[in-house]
Amino acid sequence: MKIEQLDIKNFRSIKQEKIMLDGLTIFVGPNGCGKSNFLKALQYFYEPKIRVTKDDFFARSIDSSIEIEILYGDLTQNEIEHFSKYLSSDKKLSVIKRFSSVDNTGTYYGQTKGCSAFRKVDRKPVDTFKKQFADLRLLPEFSDLPDVKTGPTMEDAFSAWETNNPEKLSLIESETQFFGFENSSVSSLEKFTKFVYIPAVMSENHLTDTRNSPIAELTDILARHKLKEDAEIKALQEEIKTKFINRLRPFNTGEMNILSQGITKAMKAYYSDVDISIYLDEETADVTLPVPKAIVNVKEGGYDTILSSSGQGLQRAFVLSLLQYFAEHRAGADEGTEPLNLILGIDEPELYQHPSKQKLFYSVLKALAETGSAVASTVQCCYTTHSPLMLNISDFNNIIRVTKILCGEVEMHETKIFKSSLSELSAREATLPSKGQAFTELKTLSGMINAVDSRINEGFFSKTVVLMEGPSDIVALRAASKFHSEGNFDLELHDIALISCGGKPNIEKPKIIFDDLGIRTYTVWDSDYKTWQDLEKAISKESITEGVEKTQASARRQSAEAAAKSSSDKNRDLLVLNNEVVCDWPEHVGPTSASFKDTIEDLLKRELGEEYLTMMVDKHNKAIQAKGPWKNPLVMKNVLEEAFNSGKRSESLEKMVLNIITLNSQR
């Protein structure tokens, strides 16, 4: 079983939010937005003895209960049989934990199939019950209810009707606790699903090797798995079970028989012809060896001590190493996989880790989420992060952006989420001029993987993202902002990410994704008007050639036509995405986008002077000796910084800088 959906109400900064959980779920957002509260909600759901305080209630108001509801899907046959009473028609399990007051440990509720009309009937006093029962019988859908008058017979009538009309039942929150009482609720869930929380701030109580710490819980999972796979332990388990059953047989004929006779003697006073037999059922006998506590020792610098006495970084590295071990060890042909859904909730896994280790740990978590481990058949990894190395643009549908908005009811901020998805991306692209109905999700995904460089991941952590074609565009914009006529506007200090997308065709997907996530975007691209000029030349050349040259000219014309159409189509798509007037070869500087008639180099030649710019490029390329100096980022950086510093100005770039700053300042 896996968690499919998490629904939270009135918990800390979350008034009400519903999120879909995948194998990998990544929470991003600024400090204080409430990312960790989603992990804490899972912790509060799974820990039976945890007590809420007034601070755990939204707006510190205890008038409304805290509710944490989890929807499980993908149940195994064993799980379906175990939870059959609480399953929906599509074999999903919904469990709610409700905290009604301060210092409350919460109560679990499931959903059972029943008739909602019957649940609304008042059972007391019995006269009210009779009247409402009679009113139901007058309705066509309940006309087959029998004419009975007592409380028990009316209840029996309801039960019989529900048994005979399963297709008319719906899932209704159970009136009693999930599986009857608290400990049974927890043990029923823990039999199949386990949550381990690894906090960001690793206090002494968190990452020590005591019960319920991440170290203890993860080593316990590993130890149990290894013990189960040990042949001698298995043999010992079977030997003890056999001896236990062999002892039960004389125990049943001896002590239990004496007990049965005593009860029978007492029963004779009520029923003279009754004999009572009490025995212990051998078929249900089960003896499980207790797993000893796992002690983690570490030897560092010749000093041997328990892990809890070591530094924070070492303790956290141990937890990450355990998870890496889980990821690397799959069940072999002769080895079983534990039928367990392990949910990991990790706050800022990048803490105390160098960049290379962050990349490694991201790959570990992704591998666990995709393929599970020998110690758990499925693993769901949920974590918060501030590191662009802990996510990837190709996993955008696993990313949840968390922010805060003003809640008018109580004049405070509440946590809200934004999410994109593959289906939403495909649907949006299908509405663009160049796409039509032939566009598929598979094309979207394959095009997405190789779209842009790794720096695009920084966009998930920014207020505004500027999406451009290549490095030379970034260099020009940086120089224009640094030496702006109205002052030094360092865009990146304003939490603005400048992203090179590796070409115009790769801009639209990140644009749609960031829009879905509520991140402001400014797009900059070359209209490539030269492709149209090349097409005109090719058409002219084709019209005046003959023979073999005509065939070659036709091929060149077709190639030029395809290039021009591709450029104009993409121009129109990007204009639509930015709510601009659609045309084939735009040149504009707008509130959310800008385009150059041909390329940014041609714009700079026009606005700074072609002769001056050529001289500057030659000057700064003498030392660098770049083969294509106009596209070389270092050459252009030196050229533009000297030009702008000397008083030269690009009106278009200066306007773009101001528009980006204005966009970034919007609430």
Residue 634 within a domain:
yes
Domain match, 373 and 457 both: no
H helix intervals, 1-34: none
What parts of the chain have a pLDDT lower than 50?
A: 180-181, 207-209, 332-334
pTM, to two decimals? 0.82
DSSP at 463: S
Residue 78 in domain: no
User: What per-residue confidence (pLDDT) applies to 446?
Assistant: 53
Whether residues 372 and 256 share a domain: the answer is: no
- What's the pLDDT score for residue 333? 43
Decide if 641 is inside a domain: yes
Residues 563 and 655 in one domain: no
Residues 330 and 221 placed together within one structural domain of the fold: yes
What per-residue confidence (pLDDT) applies to 451?
A: 52
Our separate counts of H helices and E strands in the chain read: 21, 19
Edge-to-edge strand order for the sheet containing 399-407? 193-198, 341-347, 378-384, 24-28, 399-407, 412-419
Burial class (CB in 10 A: 0-12, 13-18, 19+), 624: exposed
Beta strands in 462-591 (DSSP E): 464-468, 496-500, 520-526, 588-589
Tens of pLDDT along 318-377? 888 888 888 777 654 445 555 788 999 999 999 888 899 899 999 999 999 988 877 788
pLDDT of residue 439: 53
User: Quick one: pLDDT at residue 176?
Assistant: 56
Pair 394, 473 in one domain: no
State the residue range of the domain holding 483: 451-525+589-665
Whole-angstrom Cα distance, residue 450 to residue 161? 59
Residues 271 and 332 in one domain: no
Q: What is the pLDDT of residue 575?
A: 97
Q: How many domains does the chain have?
A: 4
Note whether 628 and 463 are within 8 A (CB).
Answer: no
* 602: Cβ contacts below 8 Å, ≥ 6 apart: 596
Task: Identify whether the C-beta of residue 329 lies closer than 8 Å to the C-beta of residue 374.
Answer: yes
How much is the pLDDT for 166?
A: 85
Domain final residue pick, 557, 586, 615: 586
Based on the fold, state whether residues 475 and 340 are members of the same structural domain: no
User: If we measure between CA atoms, which residue out of 48, 94, 49 comes closest to residue 70?
Assistant: 94
CA distance 520 to 467: 11
User: 115: closest CA among 73, 156, 158?
Assistant: 158
Regarding whether 480 and 367 lie in a shared domain, the answer is no
> Packing angle between helix 600-608 and helix 610-624, nearest 10 degrees?
120
Residue 404 belongs to some domain of the structure? no
Radius of gyration of the chain (CA): 34
Are 351 and 317 in the same domain?
yes
Q: Are 518 and 626 within one domain? A: yes
Inside any domain, residue 259: yes
In angstroms, the CA 391 to CA 363 distance is 9
Q: Residue 665 corresponds to which tokens in the numbers above?
A: 């300042």
Flag whether 391 is in a domain: yes
Q: Is residue 617 part of a domain?
A: yes
Q: Which two tokens stand for residue 20?
A: 């879909």
Q: What is the pLDDT of residues 433-480, one digit of tens each?
A: 987 555 555 555 555 555 555 678 999 999 999 999 989 899 999 999
pLDDT for 352 equals: 83
Strand locations in 469-570 (E): 496-500, 520-526
The verdict on 223 and 347 lying in the same domain is yes
pLDDT given for residue 205 in this prediction? 53
Q: How high is the pLDDT of residue 464?
A: 96
User: 309 with 246, same domain?
Assistant: no
Q: Which of 399, 431, 460 is the last residue of a domain?
A: 399
